[in-house]
Structure 1
């Protein structure tokens, strides 16, 4: 990919079709998210109940994503994805019916939310593995970054339009629009030219391992120390440095005294930052481990600065690059998860990435909330940023040892290299496979073409219940 080719992936016809469908679908997704939140809040008057609905959609990821990864590695993707879109559309239509008639009420809303999360958990790895066949290896990272851009822009537009619609006519229309949006994904699945797909789904000669199920996926991951280190770093950065919906609210109500309007401003700035981050990632010639470490250090340092920000606007100025760095981190981890893994195991690796994102949110959000309440929002940001920075440097040293390269020498300088190495040395061999490392250097076996999350998103992004698909259309 030529340097600076921000939209290089769009030269692929199949990807253009998929990206357009993804954008339509993401808009519908966020309309539905807003509609469910509004309906539950109106019926109960409880933010806790609203959070419970969100939890019901996220929880199945922990239980079902790994099985979705197995399906992604074993079965043809397109029939599974078409079935998933039909299921999503049916569930969204069910929400519309409840909102219009009141039949079933909140219990049915919660049940549909749980089923929606279950479909998304199974669909995510399948979506990620199949969608990466739309581009060649050189433009995979760019395609992932553009997927993050699609998700961020669709989120902003979906939430903005949804707010207008729900105020005017209520949430039923939002659910109906989301149900119709899945038609765009089905049309795209049929519109993609099979002959133009890249050969990511061809299993390697030892592809029989794809029959090993979930246990085989865990065994494979145990033999990939570099990938495990990247996932561990993503977990720390995600749990301590990315749950800004919690810390932004705590800062707005506390030290900044900005109230609801200030929280809305900060949320908008954060959303803009994710768009900028996606553009930065798209312009990168290569998304490697050095990029991951650099973005992690930047986000962690800025988090400390955010805790010291005196006012709302200065806090917003720091939030913007933090959001951008978060997207770069997500995109880089998703790219490495696809490029540096065995083709027969890629669906299960993507499932592990989705689970990592969900667990980091589930652990980090209540932890940061508790710290903000008992230690103070500023102290929480400084403490979490400091821990994240230390973890990033430790992971960098361990990656340096495993890969036999001077990854951190140019990042933190040689004076810091050796003292930190002693701390991180115990982390490096945690999953060192027999025969895989010789002389301190890891030999990776990337397949010819990656297949495979924001994403989200996204994986996903974190991005909010999505896996790491090229165009984040999975729910």
Structure 2
């Protein structure tokens, strides 16, 4: 389960990532509180969140191009440095007790731009510190650390804001970025698993889109992730609506549901980390559990039962995300990896931007219970459609790859005496027939098999 921790560079990266995620959630909570205290408006607070997520939808493809052309380690270091400076600026603004939110929005927007341009490099760099053999385990452990960092960050911010003030939280986040930079310096260059850079003819945004659009498996995965990410995963909206409405649990009930959901994410990450392989079949199972659980949760009569439903839903959601992330990394060629990761990030950002308002409108018009049932039914339909699509691909690919029929040889008169057989120097005498690689598999150079291709040929789907 912890096999990726045997890599020195991954141990450093996992530690730095946990510190960074904890600081990020501390900053998010502090920034939301600061905006709310200035304006008294939840809408203004929501606009600050939009400022951070909108750039990913617009600039994500350029982030993918940067990741595939420049060394990932230096792109990551640049992004972390920029975010450290922005955290310091937030701390200085908070010390001055600002009367308006304009500067806070501006910093949020720049933070979003930095995230959009460097997140694909983060994903690519994660593959380089752990290697393809332990990539799925590294991603799963990353999910566990992300959930733990979220819980710890929100808890620390909740305790630090009344004791030390909002500015202290921002400065603590800046110190966390310095820790990430230190980890990058301490990594051993010889232990990296470098991915090939983009090829001269495939360095633009269009090459990444062409690859994604030509791979039906990738399109099905992204389509399923979008539907479940928008209607099946925005529980910040539906949990609040259920706690405030039918369950009549108030703010304390909403907090308890949030803790239950966070605990479920940890369980899902642990389960994903314990598996050697994360096949597409597991993706479909996780999507079905997530959708069916949401559909049933709409009828939960009490807070306890609704909270119990959050555990399998959250666990399945993390398994789904980890499986999609693993398949994106292993099934895409190295020189296009950053652009495929950026496409995945755009899908995630779009699902969050579309799903929140859609679920909010459904809760307002139909009620929270009906909204959960309807969204769960749509998500379950999407999971079944994805299963049908993958089944069709499995049926059509063997037919497309079938060899041509072998015809009976025509007898040729053989002249008397021995006939010399011409040979080519260096040619191998035995002929080896290999099975065709699945679509989307990068073809290694002659005589060299990449690690990703080796793991696939060993049975990884």
Please tell me the TM-score bracket, short chain as reference: 0.7 to 0.9
Distance 1:164 1:353 in 2: 35
Q: Give the SS at the match of 1:308.
A: coil
Residue-by-residue CA offset, 1:243-293 (whole Å, 9 max, x unaligned): 000000111111111111111100111011111110011011211110100
TM-aligned CA distance change 1:100 to 1:400, over 3 Å: same
Matches within 5 A, 1:155-304: 155-199=150-194, 201-203=195-197, 207-211=199-203, 213-304=204-295
How far, CA to CA, are the matches of 1:287 and 1:245 in structure 2? 27
The question of 1:91 aligning with 2:86 is answered: yes
**Stretches (4+) displaced over 4 A:** 435-439
Equivalent position of 1:464 in the other structure: none
**Which residue number corresponds to residue 364 of structure 1?**
355
How much does 1:221 deviate?
1.1
Per-residue CA distance 1:385-437 (angstroms, 9 max, x = gap):
111111111111111111339xxxxxxxxxxxxxxxxxxxxxxxxxx9xx995
Question: Using the alignment, how far apart are the partners of 2:372 and 2:201 within structure 1?
Answer: 44
Shift of 1:79: 1.9
Which position in structure 1 is the counterpart of 2:13?
Answer: 18
Deviation of 1:153 after TM superposition, in Å, equals: 0.4
**Deviation, structure 1 residue 333:** 0.3
Whether the 8 Å CA contact 2:38–2:99 is kept in 1: the answer is: no
Contact 1:86 1:182 in 2 (8 A): yes
Normalising by structure 1, report the TM-score. 0.84
Larger radius of gyration: 2
- Give 5+ residue unaligned stretches, structure 2: 403-435, 444-449, 454-461
Q: Bigger relative contact order, structure 1 or 2, given CA contacts below 8 A and separation 6+?
A: 1
Partner of 2:118: 123
In 1, Cα distance between equivalents of 2:269 and 2:100: 39
Q: Is the Cα contact below 8 Å between 1:98 and 1:104 reproduced in 2?
A: no
Maintained 8 Å contact 1:217/1:348? yes
Aligned CA-pair RMSD: 1.9
Map of 1:443 onto structure 2: 439
Post-superposition offset of 1:31: 0.7
Give the structure 1 partner of residue 109 of structure 2: 114
Rounded to whole Å, the distance in 2 between the matches of 1:242 and 1:43 is: 30
The answer to whether the 8 A contact 1:277-1:324 is kept is: yes
User: How far apart are residue 136 of structure 1 and its match?
Assistant: 2.5
CA contact under 8 A between 1:97 and 1:172: conserved in structure 2?
Answer: yes
* 1:143 and 2:166 are equivalent in the alignment: no
Q: Give the Cα separation in 1 of the matches to 2:278 and 2:252.
A: 37
Give 1:104 deviation, angstroms.
Answer: 7.4
Separation in 1, partners of 2:31, 2:87: 10
Counterparts in 2 of 1:209 and 1:130: CA distance versus 1, 3 Å: farther
* 1:20-35 alignment, distance < 5 Å: 20-35=15-30
CA–CA separation in structure 1 for the residues paired with 2:138 and 2:102:
39
CA distance 1:437–1:52, shift in 2 (3 Å): farther
CA pair 45-449 structure 1, distance change in 2 beyond 3 A: farther
> Deviation string for 1:166-205 (max 9, x for gaps)?
0112210000000111111111111111101124x1258x
Q: For 1:8-41, what per-residue CA distance to the aligned partner results, in whole angstroms no more than 9, with x for missing partners? A: 1101111001101111111111110011011011
Deviations 1:134-174 (A, max 9, x none): 11222100100111111110110111011011011221000
Matches within 5 A, 1:330-345: 330-345=321-336
State whether residues 133 and 452 of structure 2, in contact with CA within 8 Å, keep that contact through their aligned partners in structure 1: no
Structure 1 residue aligned with 2:406: none
Maintained 8 Å contact 1:70/1:210: no
Seen in structure 2, the aligned counterparts of structure 1 residues 330 and 312 have a Cα distance that, compared at 3 Å, is same
Aligned residues between the structures: 413
Query: Are 1:338 and 1:450, in contact at CA under 8 Å, matched by a contact in 2?
Result: no
**Structure 1: tracts of 5 or more residues without a match:** 1-5, 406-431, 452-475
* TM-superposed deviation, 1:323: 0.4
- Structure 1 residue 443 displacement after superposition: 3.0
1:8 equivalent in alignment to 2:3: yes
| Secondary structure of the structure 1 residue equivalent to 2:440 | coil
CA distance in 1, matches of 2:149, 2:96: 29
Q: Tell me how far apart the structure 1 counterparts of residues 333 and 127 of structure 2 sit (CA, whole Å).
A: 14
